C-alpha cells in the first residue's frame, strides 16, 4: 500500500556508496543483494533479482536513488542510477 499510493511529495535524491554485494539462495531461488552506505551514515541492503545494477555494482561505486515518500511516509525507490 505504501508503494502504490504515494503522497504528493516531490521526488528527492539520496546518494549511497556500495559496500559489498553477495548472492543468497532459498527454496524460492537465487537473490542478489547489495549493501549500501548512505550519506547520512545509515547502512541499507537492497535485493536485486537479475538486475543490471547488481551486475555492474562494485564496492566503492556511487549509486543515486530517486525516492518519493509513500502512503505511510516511508521512502519508496522510484529509480536508481550508477554514477
pLDDT (tens, 9 = 90+) of the chain, 83 residues, equals 766 776 777 888 999 999 999 988 888 888 889 999 999 899 998 887 766 778 888 999 999 988 888 888 777 777 777 77
pLDDT of residue 16: 93
Q: How far apart are CA 83 and CA 44, in angstroms?
A: 18
- Do the domain assignments include residue 66? yes
- Do the domain assignments include residue 2? no
Total residues found in the chain within this entry: 83
- Do the domain assignments include residue 65? yes
- Do the domain assignments include residue 24? yes
Residue where the block lists cell 554514477: 83
- Do the domain assignments include residue 52? yes
Domains of the chain: total = 1
Q: How far apart are CA 12 and CA 23, in angstroms?
A: 29
For 63, the domain range is 12-82
- Do the domain assignments include residue 6? no
Amino acid at each position: 500500500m505504501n508503494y502504490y499510493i504515494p503522497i504528493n511529495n516531490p521526488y528527492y535524491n539520496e546518494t549511497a556508496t556500495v559496500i559489498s554485494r553477495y548472492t543468497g539462495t532459498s527454496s524460492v531461488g537465487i537473490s542478489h543483494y547489495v549493501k549500501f552506505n548512505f550519506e547520512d551514515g545509515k547502512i541499507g541492503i537492497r535485493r536485486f533479482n537479475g538486475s543490471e545494477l547488481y551486475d555492474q555494482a562494485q564496492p566503492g561505486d556511487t549509486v543515486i536513488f530517486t525516492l518519493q515518500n509513500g502512503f505511510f511516509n516511508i521512502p519508496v525507490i522510484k529509480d536508481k542510477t550508477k554514477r
